[in-house]
């Protein structure tokens, strides 16, 4: 089984019908050994994610597993927190269907390859202690899914790290931003951004639940607003891959139903992965079965995350109007923006201070705050054009620096980007 990089994935495990009781006991012991050597790396609402390197298992376990299960050394293991017979198997099967639907789609998000599923009794005291103390799982039986190990970060962690990296309220943590875990960020960010705490007004359980959802949504909007003020954007290619992946899943009757920032991962190569299929709904392809009903709010609409991410989409060069070279008309800009541009130039000129990429970014963020909405792509292009004409203030260099700094991934900077910028900045086209 081949992935888009040309490397091979082992085929997902099929049930071994001929296993005899003794064989099952020995195999169970091998899976217990795998769990004992697993290290927790993340945690969600319904499961713990651990990493295990099979090459580090005792030699006798490794030798036994050869030929029994065909999986690579590096793996991720999802351990369901709460035992509900068959839930893990359904999740495994849904993820397998999603993986098969996406595996050959090079321009779409992927699903990690699920290798096998197991339902295991937690009999040994050693395993009980490991699961309870290290994984936070205390059940007499556990369901596990062993799957492809993705080295990357989920979007929720990415969003939190970016606010720490960009916002002045986190200046003491900025250098650590790239290494802070989601759990650490969850403790750090809310207090400094001033998140509200739920549970202060509701009296009944129903009222408290409504209030909790309202506060959660308000806090999320506060985070998004602060990120926009800091100039945070997402590469359009990432959003397009995720949207394409969802369209493919839906065309195959697969609905995720819990797609939020924590359930989208970006790996070290920039590839996008959809994870956690625990609440996925699968209908027969072309069966005419309607889209799942979300009216009870028990599940999230898959498209709702796409709408959120598009609000952060970077206005890269490939998205700017095609007629930039000749037909830029700054007079078309909103009067308020024109006034702000004039005032900025006046202040810089009187102080004999050059314009810089940082000042451009601050100006655009200020425009977003003043207008109460993001500066659209055409207005942004006009603003950049106008600034590039400030020859005595270093406008052209500042615009080039701004595009390199804030849109580094839209093309090869050394070869393509400079040519595209020239096309934008050159009056003759």
DSSP lists the bridge partners of residue 145 as 78, 117
Q: Is residue 128 part of a domain?
A: yes
Closest CA to 319 of 204, 420, 171: 420
122: left (phi over 0), alpha (psi -120 to 50) or beta: beta
Task: Supply the range of the domain harboring residue 416.
Answer: 317-425
**Average pLDDT of the residues in 376-380:** 71
Q: d(Cα 143, Cα 357) in Å, to the nearest integer?
A: 52
Lowest mean pLDDT among 61-65, 140-144, 201-205, 314-318: 314-318
Q: d(Cα 241, Cα 269) in Å, to the nearest integer?
A: 14
Structural domain count of the chain: 3
- Which segments of 38-105 does DSSP mark as H helices, in order? 59-65, 87-102
Question: Phi then psi for 273, rounded to 5 degrees?
Answer: -130, 135
- Element (H or E) spanning 254, and its range? strand 254-255
pLDDT at 300 over 80: no
Identify whether residues 157 and 299 lie together within a single domain: yes
Q: Which class for 388: exposed (0-12), middle (13-18), buried (19 or more C-beta within 10 A)?
A: buried
Instruction: Choose one of 312, 344, 363: the last residue of a domain.
Output: 312
Q: Which residue has the higher pLDDT, 345 or 403?
A: 345
- Element (H or E) spanning 26, and its range? helix 21-37
Question: 62-107, pLDDT tens digit by residue?
Answer: 888 877 777 888 999 999 998 888 999 999 999 999 999 999 999 9
Identify whether residues 304 and 321 lie together within a single domain: no
All residues at 6 or more sequence positions from 292 whose CB lies less than 8 Å from its CB, including other chains: 255, 257, 281, 299
DSSP lists the bridge partners of residue 42 as 49
The sign one gets for the Cα dihedral 139, 140, 145, 151 is positive
Identify whether residues 155 and 145 lie together within a single domain: no
Question: Phi then psi for 80, rounded to 5 degrees?
Answer: -70, 135
- Element (H or E) spanning 120, and its range? strand 114-121
Q: Output the six-digit token pair for 272.
A: 């996008």
Q: d(Cα 38, Cα 28) in Å, to the nearest integer?
A: 15
In this prediction, residue 291 carries a pLDDT of 53
Identify whether residues 166 and 264 lie together within a single domain: yes
Cβ count near 384 (within 10 Å):
24
pLDDT band at residue 164 under the 50/70/90 scheme: very high
pLDDT at 267 over 60: yes
Identify whether residues 214 and 353 lie together within a single domain: no
Q: Is residue 14 part of a domain?
A: no
pLDDT at 34 over 80: yes
Identify whether residues 298 and 334 lie together within a single domain: no
Q: Is residue 1 part of a domain?
A: no
Beta strand 272-274 pairing with 264-267: antiparallel
Question: Is residue 334 within 8 Å of residue 278, measured between CB atoms?
Answer: no
Q: d(Cα 279, Cα 412) in Å, to the nearest integer?
A: 40
In this prediction, residue 378 carries a pLDDT of 66
CA dist 24 → 37, 67, 87, 137, 317 (Å): 20, 15, 21, 23, 59
Identify whether residues 300 and 365 lie together within a single domain: no
Question: 178-197, pLDDT tens digit by residue?
Answer: 999 999 999 999 999 999 88
In this prediction, residue 331 carries a pLDDT of 59
In this prediction, residue 402 carries a pLDDT of 81
Q: Which class for 264: exposed (0-12), middle (13-18), buried (19 or more C-beta within 10 A)?
A: buried
Q: Tell me, what CATH number does 115's domain have? A: 3.30.200.20
Q: d(Cα 183, Cα 189) in Å, to the nearest integer?
A: 10
Question: Phi then psi for 168, rounded to 5 degrees?
Answer: -65, -20
Question: Is residue 157 within 8 Å of residue 177, measured between CB atoms?
Answer: no
The sign one gets for the Cα dihedral 342, 343, 348, 354 is negative
- Element (H or E) spanning 344, and its range? helix 335-351
In this prediction, residue 324 carries a pLDDT of 36
Q: What is the mean pLDDT of the chain?
A: 80
């Amino acid at each position: 089984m081949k992935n888009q990089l040309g490397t091979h994935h082992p085929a997902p495990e099929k049930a071994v019908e001929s296993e005899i009781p003794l064989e099952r006991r020995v195999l169970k012991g091998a899976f217990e050994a795998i769990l004992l050597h697993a290290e927790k790396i993340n945690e969600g609402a319904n499961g713990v994610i651990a990493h295990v390197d099979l090459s580090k298992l005792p030699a006798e376990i490794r030798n036994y597993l050869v030929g029994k299960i065909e999986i690579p050394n590096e793996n991720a293991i999802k351990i369901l927190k709460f035992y509900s017979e068959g839930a893990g198997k359904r999740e495994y099967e849904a993820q397998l269907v999603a993986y098969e639907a996406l595996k050959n789609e090079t321009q779409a998000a992927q699903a990690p390859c699920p290798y096998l599923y197991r339902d295991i009794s937690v009999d040994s005291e050693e395993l009980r202690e490991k699961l309870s103390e290290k994984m936070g799982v205390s059940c007499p039986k556990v369901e596990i899914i062993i799957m492809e190990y993705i080295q990357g970060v989920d979007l929720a962690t990415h969003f939190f790290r970016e606010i720490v990296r960009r916002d002045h309220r986190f200046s003491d943590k900025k250098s650590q931003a790239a290494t802070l875990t989601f759990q650490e960020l969850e403790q750090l960010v809310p207090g400094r951004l001033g998140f509200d705490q739920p549970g202060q007004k509701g009296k009944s359980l129903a009222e408290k639940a409504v209030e909790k959802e309202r506060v959660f949504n308000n806090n999320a909007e506060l985070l998004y607003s602060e990120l926009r003020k800091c100039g945070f954007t997402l590469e359009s290619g990432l959003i397009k891959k995720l949207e394409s992946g969802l369209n493919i899943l839906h065309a195959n009757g697969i609905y995720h139903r819990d797609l939020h920032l924590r359930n989208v991962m970006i790996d070290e190569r920039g590839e996008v992965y959809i994870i956690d299929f625990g609440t996925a709904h699968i209908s027969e392809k072309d069966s005419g079965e309607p889209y799942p009903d979300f009216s009870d709010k028990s599940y999230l609409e898959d498209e709702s995350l796409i709408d959120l991410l598009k609000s952060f989409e970077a206005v890269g060069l490939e998205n700017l109007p095609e007629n930039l070279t000749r037909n830029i008309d700054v007079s078309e800009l909103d009067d308020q923006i024109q006034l702000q541009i004039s005032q900025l130039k006046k202040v810089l000129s009187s102080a004999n201070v050059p314009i810089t990429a940082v000042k451009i970014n601050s100006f655009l963020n200020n425009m977003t705050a003043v207008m109460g909405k993001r500066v659209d792509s055409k207005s942004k292009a006009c603003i950049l054009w106008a600034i590039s004409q400030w020859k005595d203030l270093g406008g052209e260099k500042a615009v080039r620096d701004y595009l390199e700094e804030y849109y580094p991934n839209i093309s090869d900077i050394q070869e393509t980007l400079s040519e595209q910028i020239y096309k934008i900045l050159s009056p003759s086209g």
